[in-house]
């Protein structure tokens, strides 16, 4: 075993990927990908099935060798420094690792035993809703339970950095929220996280930084707010009786706003939305004694960003 002390300066990012390339035969899974996970931050690699997310994570975990490019994890090389990194990173293994016959609690305790200061396995099982199945063998757990146990195994050793590959895939809405809360708590504890997802709401909810990936290539990167605000002309939509005269509304709004009846009874105000603009619109409705329904401020979602960039929907 390689016991030399890890040589990462704390200033190095948690993960730094530059010009990463990986092909399987003539299929390029990852194509000159760059990404940086800063310490204590969550980066979401967001993309559709087959975009190259798992391949990227497996290279960062040291399970797959890249064809080209550089990868540094906590300042170290994931393959050369694998032993040193193993104790410092958390990985969600699918399929129960080497012990599919072991009970859930046994498995978690086994993984915890490798750490000097593990999280209490009992606490983690309860937090992830696995308290009732602690004595059930891994192979008899449901897919969602296996998924949550894999997450527990990834974080029980209090790693500095966790790789979460589709952590909520196949989970119901409640279980997904439980996982989101746990991920939030990890971030609060200063853990760096690289997670992959094809769920834009998951990326929007959890990530400090998002890299949108398609066909192995990064097509956009930034904070969720940056990505959804760039180029977005915010809109306010509402439904009201047909044929309203919009001239008074246009006059009441600041210059540059555009009001239109996009479809009969369906109105659109285009321009940057502020609380004052919203108040102006509702005040105008009150003045002409009209009850606007379905009133909503539209903003771009990451789904829209993906659609704009690739011409395809993120969801299959
Ligand atoms: N071991 C392998 N052998 C051959 N092709 C592979 C292998 N692993 C991945 N690929 C191919 O590389 C591409 C990227 O796959 P990858 O699993 O990294 O994507 P993904 O974004 O994680 O998708 P998913 O969400 O479906 O897992 C896909 O076209 C996939 O078929």
**Per-residue DSSP letter, 136:** S
Do 140 and 182 touch, CB atoms closer than 8 A? Answer: no
Decide if pLDDT at 18 tops 60.
yes
Decide if pLDDT at 6 tops 70.
no
Q: ipTM of the predicted structure? A: 0.95
Indicate the domain borders of the chain. 15-88+159-229, 235-298
What strand order describes the sheet that includes 42-46?
89-91, 161-165, 192-197, 42-46, 209-214, 217-222
pTM, two decimals, is 0.80
Do 197 and 168 touch, CB atoms closer than 8 A? Answer: yes
* Full 3-state SS string of 215-239: CCEEEEEECHHHHHHCCCCCEEEEE
Which of the listed CATH numbers 3.60.21, 3.40.50, 3.30.460, 3.30.70 matches domain 235-298? 3.30.70
Ligand 1 pocket: which of 22, 24, 58, 64 to mutate (most atoms within 8 A of CB): 24
Average pLDDT over residues 285-298: 92
Nearest-CA residue for ligand 1 atom 31 is 50
37 lines ligand 1 (CB under 6 A): no
Of 286 and 270, the structure prediction assigns the larger pLDDT to 286
49 lines ligand 1 (CB under 6 A): yes
> Each residue of 136-191: pLDDT tens digit?
999 899 988 998 999 999 999 999 999 999 999 878 888 899 899 999 999 999 99
Do 198 and 47 touch, CB atoms closer than 8 A? Answer: yes
Angstrom distance (rounded) from CA 124 to CA 134: 11
> Each residue of 82-97: pLDDT tens digit?
999 988 999 987 665 6
- Distance from residue 4's CA to the centre of ligand 1 (Å): 34
28 lines ligand 1 (CB under 6 A): no
Nearest-CA residue for ligand 1 atom 25 is 49
54 lines ligand 1 (CB under 6 A): yes
215 lines ligand 1 (CB under 6 A): no
Decide if pLDDT at 65 tops 70.
yes
In 223-279, where do the E strands start and end?
Answer: 235-239, 258-263, 266-270
Q: Which CATH superfamily is domain 15-88+159-229 in?
A: P-loop containing nucleotide triphosphate hydrolases (3.40.50.300)
Ligand 1 pocket: which of 26, 53, 147, 169 to mutate (most atoms within 8 A of CB): 53
Ligand 1 pocket: which of 49, 52, 165 to mutate (most atoms within 8 A of CB): 52
Tokens (6 digits) for 253: 């709004």
Q: Is 31 helix (H, G, I), strand (E, B) or coil?
A: strand
């Amino acid at each position: 075993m390689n016991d030399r002390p890890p040589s990462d300066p704390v200033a190095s990012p948690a993960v730094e990927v530059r010009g990463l390339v990986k092909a399987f035969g003539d299929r390029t899974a990852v194509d000159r990908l760059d990404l940086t996970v800063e310490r204590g931050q969550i980066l979401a690699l967001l993309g559709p099935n087959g975009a190259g997310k798992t391949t990227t994570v497996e290279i960062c975990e040291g399970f797959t060798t890249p064809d080209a490019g550089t990868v540094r994890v906590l300042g170290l090389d994931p393959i050369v420094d694998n032993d040193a990194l193993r104790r410092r990173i958390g990985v969600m293994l699918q399929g129960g690792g080497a012990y599919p016959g072991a009970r859930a609690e046994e498995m978690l305790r086994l993984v915890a035993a490798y750490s000097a200061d593990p999280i209490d396995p009992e606490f983690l099982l309860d937090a992830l809703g696995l308290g009732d199945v602690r004595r059930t063998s891994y192979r008899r757990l449901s897919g969602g339970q296996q998924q949550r146990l894999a997450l527990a195994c990834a974080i029980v050793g209090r790693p500095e950095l966790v790789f979460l590959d589709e952590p909520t895939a196949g989970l119901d809405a409640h279980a997904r929220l439980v996982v989101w809360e746990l991920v939030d708590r990890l971030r609060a504890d200063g853990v760096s996280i690289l997670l992959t997802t094809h769920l834009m709401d998951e990326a929007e909810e959890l990530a400090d930084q998002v890299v949108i990936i398609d066909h192995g290539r990064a097509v956009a990167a930034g904070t969720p707010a940056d990505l959804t605000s760039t180029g977005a002309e915010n809109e306010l939509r509402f439904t009201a009786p047909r044929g309203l005269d919009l001239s008074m509304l246009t006059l009441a709004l600041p210059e540059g706003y555009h009001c239109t009846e996009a479809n009969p009874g369906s109105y659109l105000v285009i321009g940057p939305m502020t609380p004052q603009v919203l108040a102006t619109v509702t005040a105008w409705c009150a003045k002409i004694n009209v009850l606007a329904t379905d009133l909503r401020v539209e903003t771009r979602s990451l789904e829209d960003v993906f659609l704009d960039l690739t011409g395809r929907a993120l969801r299959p």
